[in-house]
Amino acid sequence: MNICLIGNNLTSLIVSKILINNGAKIDFLSLKDMKYRLSNRTIGISKSNIDFINKNICSLNNLNFEKINRIKIYSDKKKEILDFQDNQFLFSMFESKSLYKLLINSLKKNKKFRFKFINKYFLEKCLNEKSKYDLIINCEKNNLFNKKYFNINLKKNYANSAYTFLLHHNKVKNFIARQIFTNIGPLAFLPLTRTSTSVVFSYYGSDSLKETYLKNLIGKYNFELNIKKFSNFEKANLKFFSARKYHDNNILIFGDSLHQIHPLAGQGFNMTLRDLKVLSSLIKRNISLGLPVDQFVLNEFEKCVKSKNTLFSFSIDAIHNFFKIKKYLKNDKLDNFIKLIGNIEIIKKRMIKIADKGFLS
């Protein structure tokens, strides 16, 4: 089974790893190095997806992370609206650069993995010679494959910005994630280790905020952290994206090329991992039955996940729109109503399950 992976990112690495574990030979094509993009970025991975990675891809046990077993949601006035708990844990935060190094170091030791830095002309050659591979999986946006085969999609520019950075602080029992829906955007405190916390601020605006403003914002909504140092502040524009089609013959788009959602729920990479579960299962089934791994697998994959991914993406978008509109209402009764509904046990359990496993469960 010969597969071409395009794009140098966490998605392409984790896809490569599981495919090699299933017996594939991988040509891994990269147009650029990832190091400059991984400085302070973190990703949240749900419990079921951590279990999936540990069982099918690689062990995460050597990485430094906390098991977050509680999520608290607050209004702009720091009034608690929702409280989700689990006896084990709900999710964990990981440094992107640590996960990247773990995967790339493991893959480069494998003879079935061929890493190549290429230019756009080599990529065009690959496009013209696509029949030499059983599958081509494109994990990169806005390259030749996207422009030729996948140029009609659902898109929306939020005209908002996401600021991400780390807080380094005194040692604490750091297992409670907090999100405050401020009047200028959701602000999330996400435990990384006992001495560091990741912060994601989704600002309802696109203008650049000064570091002093962001530090004052943290000071206003910080609950218990004795902050020693801030990392560099990184800014990204927020967009919504949902692919109209997932594959063309033996070419599959994957990861952010399939869907890109608002970061308020921390579900972007988790959606990709859920997709990978389905794709891996279909590939394993065909191998066990002696069937080819080809475009018919991709067709079945699209049928399995597309409608659920679309529903999940628009659900996150609806939550974003609700809280953005809510800021204009300035009515505590709405917060009380959310708290009342969220405390109904059957609803709370269902919300936790969806956050963990999506709509695929």
What is the C-alpha separation between 303 and 188, in angstroms, rounded?
A: 34
Q: Has residue 215 been placed in a domain?
A: no
What is the C-alpha separation between 98 and 255, in angstroms, rounded?
A: 19
pLDDT one-digit tens code per residue, 237-292: 999 999 999 999 899 999 999 999 999 888 999 999 999 999 999 998 998 888 88
Percentage of the residues of the chain whose pLDDT score is greater than 90: 52
What is the C-alpha separation between 342 and 340, in angstroms, rounded?
A: 6
Phi–psi pair at 183, nearest 5 degrees: -70, -10
Q: Has residue 74 been placed in a domain?
A: yes
pLDDT one-digit tens code per residue, 302-323: 999 999 999 999 999 998 888 8
User: 220 and 205 in contact (C-beta within 8 Å)?
Assistant: no
What is the C-alpha separation between 268 and 361, in angstroms, rounded?
A: 17
**What average pLDDT does range 159-171 have in this prediction?**
94
Q: Has residue 27 been placed in a domain?
A: yes
Q: Which residues pair with 243 in a beta bridge?
A: 153
Q: Report the pLDDT value the prediction gives residue 33, as an integer from 0 to 100.
A: 59
Q: Has residue 171 been placed in a domain?
A: no
CB atoms within 10 A of CB 204: 18
Among 178-192, 284-298, 340-354, top mean pLDDT goes to 178-192
Q: Has residue 270 been placed in a domain?
A: yes
Six-digit token pair at 215? 């530090």
Percentage of the residues of the chain whose pLDDT score is greater than 70: 96
Residue 34 has pLDDT above 60, yes or no: no
Question: What domain range includes position 14?
Answer: 2-156+238-360
Q: Has residue 322 been placed in a domain?
A: yes
Q: Report the pLDDT value the prediction gives residue 29, as an integer from 0 to 100.
A: 87
Residue 351 has pLDDT above 80, yes or no: yes
What is the C-alpha separation between 174 and 66, in angstroms, rounded?
A: 7
Number of domains in the chain: 1
Q: Has residue 100 been placed in a domain?
A: yes
Q: Has residue 66 been placed in a domain?
A: yes
Read off the CATH number of the domain in which 82 is found: 3.50.50.60
Q: By three-state DSSP, how is residue 29 classified?
A: strand
What is the C-alpha separation between 129 and 294, in angstroms, rounded?
A: 16
